[in-house]
Structure formats: structure tokens, C-alpha cells
């Protein structure tokens, strides 16, 4: 399975030059893609449905990649559910606004 965002792209966005968090960053890449897929009702990685039929992925547009990178950056910097002593800011809301532009709403 090939993610739409590479480890190199994510590390560049995060400005990470070392390799000891590659596995964690890989997890964040997958989580951001899954968030986008679930929120938008789209498929960005080839898979099989519940009946075993192939579901072909669509290409993730640059705008959605940017939103996923926002999520990855937010999750990388804020590893706890609650931030104590920091000013609150809603970075994921910016990502959600981007995902809304091409969201498939269920009927």
C-alpha cells in the first residue's frame, strides 16, 4: 500500500532531519489519510470492500495533501489530548475546511 504522502514529504514539512521518529511519522501519515478518507467519503489507497471487490483509489489532490500535512504537523507537535500552558489554536479546523471542498456527503 502506497500512501499519497511520502515519508520524505512529511519529514520536509515537519523539518525533521533525523530518522528515529520515522515509524511515528509513518503512523501519522496513515492516520491523516484515513481521516481524510473517512471525513470525505473518498478512497485514496487501493483496497478491497467487504465483498472482496477491488476499490480503486483516486489521486489525492494537492489541496488535500496540504490539509493532511497540516494534520500531521499538528499531531506531531501536540502529542497529548490536552495542551497545558499553550495558547489554544484550531489547526485541524483549517484542514477540515479544505476537506469540505470535495466532501461526498452521504444521501
pLDDT digits (tens, 9 = 90+) for 52-98: 999 999 999 999 999 999 999 989 998 877 666 666 555 556 788 88
pLDDT over 60 at 2, yes or no: yes
CA–CA separation, 67 vs 47, rounded Å?
22
Pairing relation of β-strands 54-55 and 47-48? antiparallel
DSSP 86: S
Residues 19-61: pLDDT tens digits? Answer: 999 999 999 999 999 999 999 999 999 999 889 999 999 999 9
**Whole-structure pTM value:** 0.84
More confident residue, 11 or 77: 11
Sketch the domain layout of the chain as residue ranges: 7-100
Per-residue pLDDT band for 9 (boundaries 50, 70, 90) equals very high
Q: Cβ(63)–Cβ(101) under 8 Å?
A: yes
In the prediction, which pLDDT does 89 show?
Answer: 57
Amino acid at each position: 500500500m502506497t500512501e499519497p504522502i511520502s515519508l520524505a514529504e512529511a519529514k520536509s514539512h515537519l523539518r525533521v532531519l533525523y530518522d528515529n521518529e520515522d515509524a511515528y511519522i509513518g503512523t501519522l501519515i496513515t492516520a491523516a489519510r484515513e481521516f481524510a478518507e473517512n471525513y470525505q467519503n473518498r478512497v485514496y489507497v487501493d483496497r478491497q470492500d467487504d465483498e472482496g471487490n477491488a476499490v480503486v483509489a483516486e489521486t489525492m489532490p494537492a489541496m488535500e495533501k496540504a490539509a493532511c500535512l497540516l494534520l500531521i504537523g499538528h499531531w506531531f507537535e501536540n502529542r497529548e489530548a490536552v495542551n497545558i500552558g499553550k495558547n489554544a489554536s484550531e489547526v485541524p479546523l483549517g484542514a477540515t475546511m479544505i476537506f469540505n471542498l470535495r466532501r461526498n456527503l452521504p444521501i
